[in-house]
Amino acid sequence: METDSQWADGARQFQRIFGEGWAQVLKGLQPPAAAAAAAGASSTAAAALPSAPVRFAPDKLAALQAKYLEEAKALWSEGLQTPPAVADRRFTSEAWSKSPMARFSAAAYLLNARTLMGLADAVEGDDKAKARIRFGVEQWMAAMSPSNFLAFNADAQQKAIDTQGESIAKGIANLLHDMRQGHVSMTDESLFEVGRNVATTEGAVVFENDYFQLIEYKPLTPKVYELPFLMVPPCINKYYILDLQPENSLIRHAVAEGHRTFVVSWRNADASLAQSTWDDYIEQAVIQAIHTVQEISGAEQINALGFCVGGTMLSNALAVLAARGEDAVASATFLTTLIDFSDTGILDVFIDEALVAFRELQMGQGGLMKGQDLASTFSFLRPNDLVWNYVVGNYLKGETPPPFDLLYWNSDATNLPGPYYAWYLRNFYLENNLIEPGKLTVCGESIDLNLVDVPTYIYGSREDHIVPINAAYASTQVLPGPKRFVMGASGHIAGVINPPAKKKRSHWTRDDGQLPATLDSWLEGATEHPGSWWTDWSRWLAGHAGRQVAAPKAYGRGTRFKAIEPAPGRYVRQKA
């Protein structure tokens, strides 16, 4: 039990530094006895749990051993005289290439990393167990890179010499600063302020309750489309990912295209929302926002967009409204949204019955899922880019990361109510109940996506690691109405926030209207187009927005819906 106890102690230490979300990964990878001990089980019960040894495919193991011995022999034969050059960007600077010792340590590390990843691939077992082992090995190898340690990092050593030790002093100051703020700095956060140079599109808050503020934006055109447009961003993040800078704001783009645009700005959950449920967020937020936009505009129907978790929530709201016989939404746009949770990508390593039951026990009846824990979990999905890169730059080199609006937003964490979070994990990620007609009851209604017969625009990003492109495409098979699917290049955020003026990346469309069962089949008939998907979406949305009418002269409507405060409002400024 000593080893298990040490593992549990180590997991607690790691949790203090990187947050509970990452600690859950350790719990998923540790020996079963240690997992029970870390969860608070008695030592007797923990000792009684079975131990499942890891087994390897013999042929793969033999080939891997032979290859390792061959490459290790070649590396040691070259020694420090002519160590091989390495292509990994962590080790390609002039300082690394000039130092034989540094090049040798990098080459030895990469050899070991390749071998360990090969061992992970040679594991015999079910897909989930293999994915967890591979994920754990990837995390370990990312953490153990010689670039992460001053004693081995040739760049950091050279900078310390060049600055006569000033870089080390700055690195210590950066570390102390990040310890005080509770997260690793990804950008110079002092250069950004919500409402000053991010989230600056002009508008006003016209409704608020305990869950959200509704922002209406000032028209930029003399006429607007008859059907107003509502955006539902994810409540796991701040809404202004859709409104970073004027030149990359999807909100401003929609307003400039002539849409009377409204956006949900979520409240950052605190103790007053600790009992809030999924039903509360659907009824009191998404459905409330839809009805409020209808009342303000006087339109019988609106167009709506959901992004990421916001799209999942929008699909639930539409199903509830359909069950009630309401036809409030004329069209729906889903951006990188999971509706069919059959394929959840790398996030699947976190999800099993034990973890979900633990979350239900921990916070299912009340509590908060801390925003920093969620942020840490997502950062470790790309550890070299979103964790160790900043550890090296901030602390070993004493650098201040450059200003980047997207990374400022990424660090602006939000809390979630525990009951909401636990219900979401079980019913979607674990059991995939949303696609089963009548399986879920939401807001008192038995919901069936087959009743959500509205035109939909479904967008997925090709390199998305949060909503895999196959999972985004899967929505085309469960939503019954007329559908258009578009695939964009890049990832979960960069693929979405891709304004046409930048002329970056590509997108793929298929204009014959066919939506076969798989993405691969769809791609066989798809055409690649240079640049942003926004222009394609704008044309589609205009076709569902009705005629054009005179733009409103004031925010809200009458005395009931008046401007409460200027955009971006108070809620988005609340810190986790």
Q: Can you list the positions of beta strands (E) in 74-198?
A: 123-124
Judgement on whether residues 111 and 220 belong to the same structural domain of the protein: no
Judgement on whether residues 270 and 241 belong to the same structural domain of the protein: yes
Residue 418 within a domain:
no
Q: What is the CATH number of the domain that holds 522?
A: 3.40.50.1820
Judgement on whether residues 39 and 60 belong to the same structural domain of the protein: no
Residue 226 within a domain:
yes
pLDDT digits (tens, 9 = 90+) for 457-497: 999 999 999 999 999 999 999 999 999 999 999 999 999 99
Judgement on whether residues 286 and 230 belong to the same structural domain of the protein: yes
Judgement on whether residues 147 and 287 belong to the same structural domain of the protein: no
Question: Which residues does 147 contact at the CB level (< 8 Å), separation at least 6?
Answer: 90, 91, 106, 153, 155, 388, 392
The yes-or-no verdict on residue 400 having pLDDT over 60 is yes
Residues with a catalytic annotation lie at 308
What does each C-alpha distance from 487 to 163, 328, 518 come to in angstroms?
A: 47, 28, 13
Judgement on whether residues 4 and 99 belong to the same structural domain of the protein: no
Question: Which residues does 76 contact at the CB level (< 8 Å), separation at least 6?
Answer: none
CB 185 within 8 A of CB 177: yes
Rounded mean pLDDT of 552-569?
95
What does each C-alpha distance from 397 to 104, 162, 182, 292, 462 come to in angstroms?
A: 21, 11, 20, 52, 34
Judgement on whether residues 8 and 86 belong to the same structural domain of the protein: no
Beta bridge partners of 506: 530
What local confidence, expressed as pLDDT, does residue 52 receive?
Answer: 58
| Residue 17: count of CB within 10 angstroms of its CB | 11
Give the residue from 322, 329, 321, 325 showing the smallest Cα distance to 304.
329
CA atoms within 13 A of residue 122's CA, in its CB half-sphere: 17
Question: Which residues does 98 contact at the CB level (< 8 Å), separation at least 6?
Answer: 154
Residue 540 lies in domain = 203-346+431-573
pLDDT digits (tens, 9 = 90+) for 314-369: 999 999 999 999 999 999 999 999 999 999 999 999 899 999 999 999 999 999 99
Rounded mean pLDDT of 259-267?
98
Beta strands 229-232 and 302-307, pairing class: parallel
14-28, 231-245, 393-407: least confident range = 14-28
Judgement on whether residues 330 and 226 belong to the same structural domain of the protein: yes
Can you tell me the distance from the alpha carbon of 385 to that of 276, in angstroms, rounded to the nearest whole number?
34
Judgement on whether residues 155 and 34 belong to the same structural domain of the protein: no
Which of the listed residues 111, 129, 162 is the one where a domain comes to its end?
162
Judgement on whether residues 100 and 244 belong to the same structural domain of the protein: no
What local confidence, expressed as pLDDT, does residue 100 receive?
Answer: 87
Beta bridge partners of 56: 123
* pTM strictly above 0.85: yes
> What percentage of the chain carries pLDDT values higher than 70?
90
Q: How far is CA 73 from the centre of its chain?
A: 42
Can you tell me the distance from the alpha carbon of 569 to that of 540, in angstroms, rounded to the nearest whole number?
30
Give the residue from 7, 47, 46, 58 showing the smallest Cα distance to 28.
7
3-state secondary structure of 368: strand
| Residue 423 DSSP label | H
Total number of domains in the chain: 3
Which of the listed residues 101, 136, 162 is the one where a domain comes to its end?
162
Judgement on whether residues 63 and 211 belong to the same structural domain of the protein: no
Judgement on whether residues 85 and 234 belong to the same structural domain of the protein: no
Residue 403 within a domain:
no
Give the residue from 345, 372, 380, 363 showing the smallest Cα distance to 470.
345
| Residue 407 DSSP label | H
CB 316 within 8 A of CB 282: yes
Residue 135 within a domain:
yes
The yes-or-no verdict on residue 50 having pLDDT over 50 is no
What local confidence, expressed as pLDDT, does residue 126 receive?
Answer: 86
Residue 108 within a domain:
yes
Residue 136 within a domain:
yes
The yes-or-no verdict on residue 40 having pLDDT over 60 is no
Which of the listed residues 110, 140, 162 is the one where a domain comes to its end?
162
Tokens of 387: 């964790």
pLDDT digits (tens, 9 = 90+) for 200-253: 999 999 999 999 999 999 999 999 999 999 999 999 999 999 999 999 999 999
On average, the pLDDT of the chain sits at 90
Q: Is the backbone peptide bond immediately before 83 cis, with ω within 30 degrees of 0?
A: no
CB 153 within 8 A of CB 396: yes
What local confidence, expressed as pLDDT, does residue 77 receive?
Answer: 83
The yes-or-no verdict on residue 25 having pLDDT over 90 is no
Residue 288 within a domain:
yes
Beta bridge partners of 458: 334, 485
Q: Quick one: CA dihedral 310, 311, 312, 315, positive or negative?
A: positive
* Sole residue written with tokens 């916070």: 363
Residue 527 within a domain:
yes
